[in-house]
Each structure stands twice: as structure tokens, then as C-alpha cells.
Amino acid sequence: MNTSQQTVPLYRLAHSRTGDKGNRSNISVIAWHPALWDLLVEQVTEAAVARHFAARQPSAVRRYLLPQLHAMNFVLDDVLDGGVNDSLNLDSHGKALSFLMLDLPVAVPDALRTHLVGGP
Amino acid sequence: MTERSSLMIGCAAGFSGDRTDAALPVVRELIARGQASVLIFETLAERTLALAQLARRGNPDLGYEPLLDELLTPVLALCLAHRIRIVSNFGAANPLGAARRIRALAKELGLRRPRIAVVHGDDVSGLQHRALLERSLGRAMPCEPLVSANAYIGAAPIAEALVAGADIVVCGRVADPSLVLGPALAHFGWRPDDWTRLARATMAGHLLECGAQVCGGYFADPGYKDVAGLASLGYPIAEIDDSGDCTISKPEGSGGRIDERTVKEQLLYELHDPAAYLTPDVVADITTARVRQIGPDRVRLEGVSGHPRPPTLKVNACFETGWFAEGEISYAGARAVARARLAAQVLQERLADAGPLRVDLIGVTSVLGDDSSRWLDGPLDEGVRDVRLRVALQQRDRAQAERLVREVTALYCCGPAGGGGVRTAIRPRLGMVSCLVPRDAVSVGHAMVDELRQETQP
């Protein structure tokens, strides 16, 4: 079957918040609409997120699924340069990382386009 | 059989430095609702306690939340008059000092003398605990001087203090959600191994512990997640029922918003495995949870599961690890990026023997790079016409750290053309390590402040 699709940033499918504990960051990805959930599970994978955060060199990326909430939780190890007490970063908590996550590209089939938020 | 009526818990602070005018609207709302109520303030982040220990070293009467007066003055009279009990970790490194200050504050305000309980046992920085720390940290035990070591203790001593009649319970390091679970245990009389109810009230606490973050604070993203009234955010109130499930709401007429999205973001905040959220009181599992909007700015959290509490307690220990120095200088107009980059190269050369230097170009990349500053070697947007160079390093030795401050300042005369607006800072650095200790190695409890005073007067 040949369906057309477009690639959009994750922020059109989901919202996100970052938390930190030590040198570990957790980043939630929460679907704007339940209809987008399967697509997120399929494309916003541990491998895709590890690639997207390659510049921060995570030693591990784990994904936890919460289908009842249409939400997933990513845990990225060793991405905070030691964490809030050791990092030289202005954002030593890594608070801004949720918006790095939200730039991850997702290919969306036409049938789901009506559920996208914002954009053209 | 009669079921106990719901318990209302309002939260008026989510960290040390939060808005101090948040409590009054929450307290007025609690009074208007007319049910059993508790007000909590959560004011201890991971590092706050170490800073409080340093403050106490400078003055033994200090070491508690610096904004204690500002937080309590607007609401203390109303809380005492309407039996709204106050539970907080604003005792930080000196809960007894905080309690004494609150007693004095009540007197200054002409109020009745509150019954104040102090929770103890979290502080394991003393010599008697040194062997425990060394054993538990093993090779992670730093050789630098210890500043603070605190166990995350649970809800039991808070509940006991409330049952004993405390108006105000002052804690140091307790797990944040325990500030909510403690009052729930005291109110409903749940068994300490009723894991389901404990887990549910714990997650109610988790939703409250960051204050406005569940009500539209830290959420707004114009055009995508709009929030009206960020300047007048209402802080959250959890209505907990005897099942442990809760409804989150906020004061009538306040700014902000509560919907399934704000609640889900906070539910997952600082969580790792959602099936095993570890606290000293219970292991909570939110994979079974449901989040449901039941009215305007009213969202219900139901169905959290619980498992037996861990046999260990988490301890955070902070050490003096040296000095942190940073400096900034701005470049604007034509070739601003090239001149800022040249300045960075000059600093890297001058400070080559002072340890790794972090470089940011504010206006190009200020937070997304890492401490290795590798991104600087790649292509940069040379079209940016207003950038601010920032450099930072950490050094054991203060004199070495001060070299950065001097070198950034010297760019005024020795650096590239047109650099302006130098700012520098140097401050002591605290490193932190964590470990788990056996629960029975930490002895916790509470004491009423007046009784304590009698004990110390033979």
C-alpha cells in the first residue's frame, strides 16, 4: 500500500517535561491525542532517542511505556556532565532537554495529520 | 461503618526560592471548603541542605529555610485559628532552629503559642554515622571534607507528630511526598503496610511537591500549551479520600490551569521506572494509574498500585569539592561569532594548565552543548550578530579558579576587538554522592519543642 506521509517535529505530536536525579535525566513524551500513540511507540524508540541525543553521549537510554496515559518516559544515563553539582553547564539540571527531545523527527501518515498540533 | 471524610492538602511552595505570596490564596480556599486541611511547603532540593549546613556553620541559629518568615507570616494566624496544620521540610539543616523561630514569630504576631513538633533522624553527618557512610559509599566515599549527609526519611514521624497534636511539623530531609502521606496516615489511620493506599497518597504528594508545576507552572509554550495568569498562579490542593485517590484543584479565581496534560507532565516528573517509584514509605506503581478531568481545573488521579517499601533508605552526602569560576563577555555586530571564538581560543591557551574549560556562545548555544565543548569545533552560524561568550571551570584550589576570573577580565585590553560587559563569579563547589543504608541504621522520631526545651533545662 502506498500512503503518503510527512515528517514533522515531535512537538506536533506530543508534549514533554524533563526531570533530573544525579547524572541521569528523565524526559516524558506525552501524546497530544490518543490516536497518535501507536505512531509514537513505533518511531520514538530507544534507538531513535539515543541517536537524537548522540551529542550528549548517553551511556544508556531506556523507554518505559504508560499506555493508559498515552505517555512514555525516557531515562538517559550520564547526559548531565555529572549532574547539578558537577556540571559546568548553565543548565546543570538539563531542564532544556525536553525541547531537544521535541525536535525529534517523526514521519506522520496523512490519515493522522488531523491530530497534529500547530504548524502549517 | 463510617468512612472518614476527605483530607484537603494545599501546597504553597515547590522549592526554596518559590513565590512567597502563594500560601494565602491556598489557605483562604481551604477555609472556604471547610474540611480537615493541611498546608505543606516543600523547600528542599538535592543541594539545598548542603547550603543550609554551610549557613549553620556561619551562625548556629541559622541553617533553616531563609525565607521562613516570608512564607509563614501571611498565613500563620489563619492556620492556627482554623486548625489548618502546617507540615514542611523548611527545617533543612536546623529543624529545631526553625521551630524556635516560628515560636518567636507567633509571639511577635500576637498569636497563641503553637504546638510545634520537630522531626529528627535524617541527619547522618555526625561522627557516629561516619562508619556507616564509609561502608555504604565504599569507593565512592570522597576524601574531601563532608558538608552534609542526610537520609530521605519517611512519613511515619510526621503522622505521629500530628496524632500527638502538633499544629506545625518541622522536618529536615524527608522524602517530598511523605509531607503529604504523613498527614494522610494521621487523618485516615491507614495501616503502615496498606501499600495501595500509601502509594496513592504518595503520588498525590508527588503531584503537589513541586507547587505550581501541576497547575500550569513550568508548562506554558505559547501557541501549543497556553496558560492564562502565570503571574498569579494558583497553587495546588489535593483532596484525598479514604481510598488514597485524589482530586487536584486550585484556589477559585487564581491563574494557571489544571488539566490531564498538566497532571501527566507532573506525574512523570523526576520519575524513572514508572512501575517502581521508590520512596521510604512504599514502592508506587503508576502503570495502572488513570488521569481524568472531572471539571474545570479539577483532575482526578486514580488507580495507582503499591508494593512493600524498600529495606533501605537513600542518603545524599555533600562534600567540599573546590571552587567554581565563570566569566562572560559580549561581542556584537559584524564577525561577532569569529571574535568570540577567538576570545575563547585565547582563554583556552592562557588557562591550558587550569583544567578543562567549558565554552558556550550564548546566542548560538548556551545549554545544549556538553562540558567538553566539542560542538565549537563544528560549523557555527556565523551570521549571529550578538553573542556572549561564557567560560567556566572547576578547581580544587581557589587561586587556580581565580585565574579564570582574571583572564576573562583581561580580555578588555588583550582580547579581540569590541568585547564588552564582562561579568565574573567565583563560588565554593559542593559535590554530591548517594548511597543506600539499611533502614534500621537510621533512628527517626519527633519531639515537641516545648518538651525538648524542658529536657535541656535540668
Dump pLDDT digits (tens) for B375-410.
Answer: 888 888 888 999 999 999 999 999 999 999 999 999
CA B446, B450, B451, B455 dihedral sign is: positive
* Residues B227-247, mean pLDDT to the nearest whole number: 98
Q: Which chain A positions have a beta carbon within 8 Å of B321's beta carbon?
A: 85-86
Contact predicate B159/B185, CB 8 Å = yes
Q: Is some CB atom of chain B closer than 8 A to the CB atom of A5?
A: no
* C-alpha torsion angle, residues B169, B172, B176, B182 (rounded to 10): -30
- Give the three cell numbers for residue B278: 521508590
- Give the three cell numbers for residue A103: 525536535
Q: Cβ contact (<8 Å) for B368 and A55?
A: yes
pLDDT for res B68:
98
Q: Taking each helix axis from N to C terminus, what angle separates B398-414 and B336-350, rounded to the nearest 10 degrees?
A: 140
**CA gap B205, B183 in Å, rounded:** 10
**CA gap A54, B373 in Å, rounded:** 14
Give the least confident one: A69-78, B93-102, B276-285, B374-383: B374-383
Q: Cβ contact (<8 Å) for B47 and A85?
A: yes
Contact predicate A14/A98, CB 8 Å = no
Residue from A29, A52, A63, A69 whose CB has the most chain B CBs within 10 Å, to mutate:
A69
Q: Is some CB atom of chain B closer than 8 A to the CB atom of A81?
A: yes
Q: What global pTM score does this model have?
A: 0.95
Q: Which chain B positions have a beta carbon within 8 Å of A11's beta carbon?
A: 224
Q: Which pLDDT tens digit goes with each residue over B253-280?
A: 999 999 999 999 999 999 999 999 999 9
pLDDT for res B458:
38
pLDDT for res B322:
93
**CA gap B5, B80 in Å, rounded:** 21
Q: Which chain A positions have a beta carbon within 8 Å of B291's beta carbon?
A: 69
- Give the three cell numbers for residue B25: 490564596
- Give the strands of the sheet with B277-278, arranged side by side: B277-278, B283-285, B305-307
Quote ipTM for the complex: 0.96
Q: Which pLDDT tens digit goes with each residue over B332-373?
A: 999 999 999 999 999 999 999 998 999 999 999 999 988 888
pLDDT for res B372:
86
- DSSP states along B373-438: -GGGGS---TT--EEEEEEEEEESSHHHHHHHHHHHHHHHHHSSTT-EEEEEEEEEEEEEEEEEEE
Q: Cβ contact (<8 Å) for B371 and A24?
A: no
Contact predicate B107/B286, CB 8 Å = no
DSSP structural state of residue A69: G
Q: Which chain A positions have a beta carbon within 8 Å of B274's beta carbon?
A: 64, 66, 73
A86 or B307, which is more confident:
B307
**Residue A1 reports pLDDT greater than 80:** no
- Return mean pLDDT, chain A: 94
**Confidence grade of residue B140 (pLDDT, cut at 50, 70, 90):** confident
**Residue B133 reports pLDDT greater than 60:** yes
B109 or B139, which is more confident:
B109
Q: Cell 556561619 maps to which residue?
A: B58
To the nearest whole percent, how much of chain B has pLDDT over 70?
A: 98
User: Within 13 Å, how many C-alpha atoms sit on residue B172's CB side?
Assistant: 31
Q: Is some CB atom of chain B closer than 8 A to the CB atom of A69?
A: yes
Residue from A85, A103, A104 whose CB has the most chain B CBs within 10 Å, to mutate:
A85
pLDDT for res B375:
82
Give the three-class secondary structure for A74: strand
**CA gap B51, B66 in Å, rounded:** 11
- Return mean pLDDT, chain B: 95
**Residue B155 reports pLDDT greater than 80:** yes
* Residues B234-238, mean pLDDT to the nearest whole number: 98
CA distance A109 to chain B (A): 21
- Give the three cell numbers for residue B12: 504553597
Q: Which chain B positions have a beta carbon within 8 Å of A88's beta carbon?
A: 324, 326, 358, 371, 392-394
- Give the three cell numbers for residue B116: 510545634
Q: Which pLDDT tens digit goes with each residue over B196-215?
A: 999 999 999 999 999 999 99
**CA gap B88, B104 in Å, rounded:** 18
pLDDT for res A2:
52
Would you call B131 exposed, middle or buried from its count of C-beta atoms within 10 A (0-12, 13-18, 19+)? exposed
pLDDT for res B373:
84
Q: Is some CB atom of chain B closer than 8 A to the CB atom of A103?
A: no
* Residues B118-126, mean pLDDT to the nearest whole number: 96
Neighbours of B228 (CB within 10 A): 11
- DSSP states along B94-113: -HHHHHHHHHHHHHHTT---
The enclosing H or E element of B452 equals: helix B449-455
pLDDT for res B284:
98
**Confidence grade of residue B453 (pLDDT, cut at 50, 70, 90):** low
Would you call B58 exposed, middle or buried from its count of C-beta atoms within 10 A (0-12, 13-18, 19+)? exposed
The one-letter amino acid at B209: E
**Residue B457 reports pLDDT greater than 70:** no
